[in-house]
Amino acid sequence: MTYALRRLVLAVGLVALCAAGCAGYKLGPTNGLRAGEKSIQINPVVNSTLEPRFGPVVTQALRQELQRDGTYRLDTAGTGDVVVNTDIARYFRREVAFQPRDTLSAQDYELNLIAKVVATDRRTGREVLNKEVRGRLIVRIGTDLVSAERQSMPLLAENLARRIATLLVDGEW
């Protein structure tokens, strides 16, 4: 095989490899809609837990996540094509790691936030999403559990919002 033929075979192989690697990539929204074609209304999140301040934090995080995604236009005038109602049903923590010298004292907690999300098509009234969604976060508590939980609240809300936004954007509706 001549040098020029080897280079040609190598170049064709390299182009084929690159093309195959990008074959599954899709530019733009993944649900078949054009970006901003439909609008979405996010109603304030209802907090049914005993932990205060989760409602506004999750509402803000969900709105930011949907704006970042760009599939839907965020509607604040109350005329969105899709209306999303979210109710934070449960908040709990679970020990996942303990102090090395004291096996009764927790070192890391997994924080869990469970929300009931109902998305309704405004025109038809049909529920397009009705699901429980769980946000999770592992946090090292240090010496003050209350401060660690308070500081991790926005991160836990972002995790929950990301999961909700994924269901709304990539949903099969």
Structural domains of the chain, ranges and CATH numbers in brackets: 35-170 (3.30.160.150)
What are the helix and strand counts (H, E) for the chain? 3, 6
What residues pair up with 86 in beta bridges, in sequence order?
A: 117
| CB distance 79 to 44 below 8 Å | no
Of 72, 2, 62, the residue nearest 30 (C-alpha): 72
Neighbours of 157 (CB within 10 A): 28
The whole-model pTM stands at 0.78
Query: pLDDT of the chain along its 173 residues, tens only?
Result: 688 888 888 888 777 766 666 655 454 555 556 666 789 999 999 999 998 889 999 999 999 999 998 889 998 778 889 999 999 999 999 988 888 888 788 889 999 999 999 999 999 999 999 999 999 999 988 788 888 888 999 999 999 999 999 999 987 55
Length of the chain: 173
End-to-end CA distance of the chain: 55
Averaged pLDDT score across all residues of the chain: 86
Report pLDDT for 5.
81
73 CA to centre of own chain: 17
